[in-house]
Amino acid sequence: METIRHLIEPSNLTNQEIEQLVALGLDIYQNPKNYAEKCRGKILASLFYEPSTRTKFSFDSAMLRLGGNTIGFADPDSTSDKKGESLTDTIRVISNYADIAVMRHPKEGAPLLASKHAGIPIINGGDGGHQHPTQTLTDLITIKRFKGSLENHIVAFQGDLKYGRTVHSLIKTLSRFNTKKFILISPEELKLPSSLKRQLLKKYPSLVIEEVRHLSDVVTEIDILYCTRIQKERFFNEEDYIKLKNSYILNKKSIKSAKADMIIMHPLPRVNEIAYEVDDDSRAVYFEQAKMGVYVRMALIMKLLEVE
């Protein structure tokens, strides 16, 4: 039986494949017309068991821009999930209706389970607080576009490093690309899980990870500042969320002494972690980042469907 390639976590791709996807995504960005027919006749199913704006629409847009079609749902209550159908049955059936599927699910591991029962490539569009590999590809194409290289940067993550799946996937992946230093800025309660930190240091003993409480302590040295939303939906009680929700608010003042070529990223949606006044700062690239997500997802769809 031929093996089907899935993207469940970033480690499913080699460094070379990641660089090729980023390069292909940038070529699609510059020459979209060359790709407008690449997936003619193909169908993408988007299966979203959790809310999404960017991931769902950028995947749909990516497939449509490749000349393909899309089916799917953004609300599982409108499907047989509501009647009690298992995820594995759903995916077996969807495999007959589409050529490739992207799935977002609140349960960690759901896309992996689905991939074991699927007859088509499955892409993880975010599983609980676990992983979000296509956001990582989006982040990497953005870094490549604005910083020229994926390597040798000082990268700071700020906000919810405990539950933020975008952080988990990106830090794991950037560890593979000679990152000069990671700086983790979070309240004590939302620190990067120590198991993940240990795992990274074990695999890459020369990795430098510094943990600080305040951006102001480190702002002058950062090349890439990756801000995140406090992940309200992952908290067990509302009180804890309320206590932490305004931990960090980036404003003009807080980046005054930052490097002129630092870039400010955010996977979006933002709630109030970045003041609107920052949007017109030339270092703010988060809306361009969301835009690049379409091109790198076009590249990924082409790769998994083995389109030349």
Where in the sequence numbering do the catalytic residues fall? Answer: 54-55, 83, 104, 132
Cβ pair 222, 154 in contact under 8 A: yes
- The nearer residue to ligand NCD, 57 or 146, going by C-beta atoms, is 57
Binding mask 224-243 for ligand NCD (x = CB under 6 A): -----x--------------
71 has which bridge partners? 45
Least distance to ligand NCD, CB of residue 242, Å: 17
Q: Check residue 55 for interaction with ligand NCD (CB under 6 A).
A: yes
Chain residues 178-207 in contact with ligand NCD, contact rule CB under 6 A: none
Q: Residue 162, interface with ligand NCD (CB under 6 A)?
A: no
Q: Quick one: how far is CA 225 from the chain centroid?
A: 15
Contact between 35 and 65 under an 8 Å Cβ cutoff? The reply is yes
Contact between 54 and ligand NCD per CB under 6 A: yes
Q: Of residues 38, 153, 162, 165, which one binds ligand NCD by CB under 6 A?
A: 165
Which of 290, 246, 238 is CA-nearest to residue 57? Answer: 290
Q: What is the distance between the alpha carbons of residues 88 and 245, in angstroms, rounded to a whole number?
A: 36
For residue 66, the tally of other CB atoms under 10 A from its CB is 25
- State which residue, 54 or 145, has the beta carbon closest to ligand NCD: 54
Is 268 among the residues that bind ligand NCD (CB under 6 A)? Answer: yes
At its nearest, how many Å lie between ligand NCD and the CB of residue 129? 9
Residue from the set 87, 267, 296, 305 that interacts with ligand NCD by CB under 6 A: 267
Residues counted in the chain = 308
Which run of H or E residues covers position 60? helix 54-65
Residues whose CB falls within 8 Å of the CB of residue 303, separated by 6 or more in sequence, listed in order = 5, 17, 20, 21, 24
Positions touching ligand NCD (CB under 6 A) are 54-55, 126, 132, 135, 165-166, 229, 267-268
